[in-house]
Structures are given as structure tokens and as C-alpha cells.
């Protein structure tokens, strides 16, 4: 085996084994891994089918959406994604409001990546993104993203979001469950 290929294989093998060794060397990792003392999750997702849903992509006319995906990558952060239908049930567009929970808001309760809303909440939107897909569910290009200012609120059976970019693009979405 050539020397450079051998080094590459060895480096790759070390990278693959590193997380396992790092976890085993972490104090308390063995205790946290036992089913009786499993720590509470603070991340996960919840997808809800909407009875009514409308959103707009960067100042375009409002279009129908079918569901809302709430993603909590860590406690205190919340992404609210509005999913629009495509052919054959594949999503054709996604409008994503990325935000930080307001101080009085309760984060979602998550267990093994599955979450549930714990009450009304508000986020301060910090950025927006849009993604589009073809009828086979493949991305039609790179996602578009903007820094933005806005707000999302989730109350009872409704979610409302609005945001505006410094370059004046604006977005809004509302869904009822």
C-alpha cells in the first residue's frame, strides 16, 4: 500500500474511532448511558399537520402549506418550518424561521428526539431560509438564507410568524391545527 494512502486510511480509522473513545473517557458517561439515569433530552422535533396554513416566500403571493415542523436543536433555540405541498406528497417549498425563545417561553419537552409543545411560546427571529424541491423531492438549488428580524408566536392551536430582512424582503406564515 502506498505511504500516502496508508496514512489516509489510518487517519480515517482514527477519526471514526475517536467519538467512541471520547465518550468512554468522559466522566459520568457510563452512568448517563444507563436506562435508569437517562438525562432529559433538550432537542428534537414535532411535525403537525395543519387544518389551514398559508405562507409567502420572499414577498411572493401567499401559497398554501400543509404542515409545520418545529425543530429544537437545543434548549432555547427553535426553528419553525412551514412545508408546502408538491406533486405526489413531496414538499415543494420550505420556509424556515430561525429564532431564540423569549425569556417567558417554555421550550418543547423532548424525549428521544420526539417533542411536544408545553404551552404558549414566542421566538425572536434571527434568520430566514427558503428551500425548493422538484416533484421527486430533490432540491432545485441551494437554500436561500437571510439575516432577519421578526417574531413567531405559538398559542393554543395556532402559529404565526413574520420577519423582514435588512434588504427589505419580508415573509409571513400562519397555520391552525
Residue 174 has pLDDT above 60, yes or no: yes
Of the candidate ranges 33-37, 122-126, 131-135, the one whose mean pLDDT is the lowest: 33-37
Residue 37 has pLDDT above 80, yes or no: no
| pLDDT tens per residue, range 62-86 | 889 999 999 999 889 999 999 988 6
Quote the strand ranges of the chain, DSSP E.
44-49, 52-55, 63-64, 67-72, 77-85, 91-101, 109-111, 113-116, 121-132, 144-155, 158-164, 170-176
Residue 169 has pLDDT above 60, yes or no: yes
Amino acid at each position: 500500500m502506498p505511504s500516502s494512502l496508508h496514512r489516509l486510511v489510518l487517519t480515517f480509522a482514527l477519526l471514526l474511532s475517536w467519538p467512541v473513545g471520547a465518550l468512554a473517557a468522559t466522566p459520568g458517561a457510563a452512568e448517563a448511558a444507563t436506562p435508569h439515569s437517562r438525562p432529559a433530552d433538550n432537542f428534537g422535533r414535532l411535525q403537525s399537520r395543519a387544518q389551514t396554513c398559508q405562507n409567502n416566500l420572499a414577498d411572493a403571493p401567499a401559497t398554501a402549506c400543509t404542515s409545520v415542523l418545529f425543530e429544537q436543536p437545543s434548549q432555547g433555540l427553535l426553528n419553525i418550518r412551514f412545508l408546502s405541498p408538491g406533486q405526489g406528497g413531496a414538499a415543494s417549498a420550505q420556509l424556515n424561521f430561525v429564532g431564540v425563545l423569549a425569556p417567558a417561553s417554555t421550550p418543547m419537552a423532548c424525549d428521544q428526539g420526539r417533542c411536544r409543545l408545553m404551552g404558549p411560546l414566542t421566538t425572536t427571529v434571527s434568520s430566514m431560509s427558503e428551500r425548493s424541491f422538484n416533484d421527486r423531492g430533490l432540491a432545485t438549488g441551494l437554500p436561500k438564507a437571510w439575516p432577519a428580524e421578526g417574531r413567531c408566536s405559538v398559542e393554543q392551536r395556532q402559529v404565526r410568524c413574520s420577519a423582514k430582512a435588512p434588504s427589505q424582503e419580508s415573509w409571513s406564515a400562519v397555520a391552525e391545527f
